[in-house]
Structure 1
Amino acid sequence: MRTILIAIGALTALAGSAFAAEPAKTVDTKMGKILATENGMVLYTFDKDTKGKSNCDKDCLKKWPAFHAGAKAKAEGEWTLVKAADGKEMWAYEGKPLYTYVEDKKAGEANGDGVGGVWHAAK
């Protein structure tokens, strides 16, 4: 009986980690499916970033806030963590750091897509 309980506990622990919630969700927009925060704010990538590195400085972050990760966040699969210019961890998808845009006022708005030819809604 004890062996069965230990096995069930181990299986439960493994299943919980296998189904960890992703930090963002996919939403349908007029541009197709894009990534958004849990509350529906569109996420963006910056062409000047390099894989696994944010090149959006502190002034940049005022207009393009980093999609910060929680203190206990763990990288998994295509979701990784990188340092933002403010020193905090931020999420990256497939190595591309993710940001929101201050001009997006409500869920699903994608006013930042195409700004300066270097900002794009994350897909």
Structure 2
Amino acid sequence: MSKTATYFTVIVIILVIIIALYFIIMAMNNQSANPVETINNIQTEAPAKTINISSSASSGSFLADANGKTLYYFVNDTVGKSNCTGQCQTSWPIFYSPNIVASSQLDISDFGQIKNENGQNQTTYYGWPLYYYAGDNAPGDTNGQGLQNIWFVVANPEYNVLLMNNPVSKIYLSDNSGKALYYFKSDIKGTATSDPLSKCTGACLATWPIFSAPGGGQITAPALLKISDFKEFTRPDGTSQLSYKGWPLYSYSKDIKSGDTKGDAFNNLWYLVKP
């Protein structure tokens, strides 16, 4: 073979190698040129919701778990404390989710957790422990609603008037933080055609603050209570106050924690508001 032919063969081999290397480099560049696009094209599933919102004609809109099973609150509880123990938990198992993923209509900061007397973790909503009812079999069942007048679905939007219960005072009304609501015997009760008249004015209000209609006057309450029994009225000083069955509602400044009822029968003039 002549030197010219050998030289030509070497050139061809070099060109083939260069072309091959070019295509290899281009292929590698195509794989890594846009990593963001590659990542974005990966199908990722959103985390499953652990709290959903369900509804029914009889119970309205309420909280449910990931499988649509209804959640309840217990009027014997106080904020941050479960009083459902022993045999109670057989019928009313606790609800617990370590990582709350909620419907967009809910704020996860409203959820928390406690340890009950058995040392079990339990999820709370606005501080109230959450439960299932063993008698609910299918998603959306609300067989525990109003049971014994002490178990109720957890409403959405949340209740702004609640029911609470203790062995001494029995069932009474509270705000959604568990602070008891009172009426004043000296007030003039409202009627279907006239507003009530509050006789608690001036210094009295420092001890017995008025209870105003939360949420712009929209009342949400457990099923035992009739929304039509609540009415917002304007006091002589121009402030708004909520009444129940004609009686203006107040809290008591010396009730410090959820479940306190220190103002009941105070001076034989102030009493807890009963359903």
- Could you tell me the TM-score, scaled by structure 1's length? 0.76
Q: Which amino acid aligns with 2:201?
A: D
1:73 aligns with 2:211: no
- Which stretch of structure 1 is more off in the superposition, 91-100 or 76-85? 76-85
Asked if 2 retains the 8 angstrom alpha-carbon contact of 1:80 and 1:91, the reply is yes
CA apart distance, 1:83: 2.6
Aligned length: 107
Q: Distance in 1 between matches of 2:157 and 2:245?
A: 17
Contact persistence 1:53–1:82 (CA under 8 A) = no
- Superposition pairs of residues 58-97 of structure 1, within 5 angstroms: 58-70=202-214, 72-74=216-218, 76-84=227-235, 86-97=237-248
Contact 1:54 1:82 in 2 (8 A): no
**Structure 2 match to 1:37:** 175
* Alignment root-mean-square deviation, CA: 2.3
Residue 24 (structure 1) aligned to one of 151, 157, 161: 161
CA distance in 1, matches of 2:239, 2:209: 11
What TM-score, normalized by structure 2, do the two folds share? 0.36
Aligned AA (1:113): D
Q: Secondary structure at the match of 2:216?
A: coil
Deviation at residue 54 of structure 1 after TM alignment: 1.2
Partner of 2:201: 57
Structure 1 stretch displaced more, 29-38 or 79-88: 79-88
Structure 1's unaligned 5+ residue stretches are 1-14
Conserved? CA contact 1:54–1:83, under 8 Å: no
C-alpha distance in 2, partners of 1:120/1:85? 23
- In terms of Rg, which structure is larger? 2
Secondary structure of 1:120 counterpart: strand
Aligned residues: percent identity? 28
| Stretches of structure 2 lacking an aligned partner (at least 5 in a row) | 1-59, 62-155, 190-195, 220-226
Please give the alpha-carbon distance, in whole angstroms, between the structure 1 residues aligned to 2:165 and 2:255: 16
1:74 Cα shift?
5.0
Bigger RCO (CA 8 Å, 6+ sep): 1
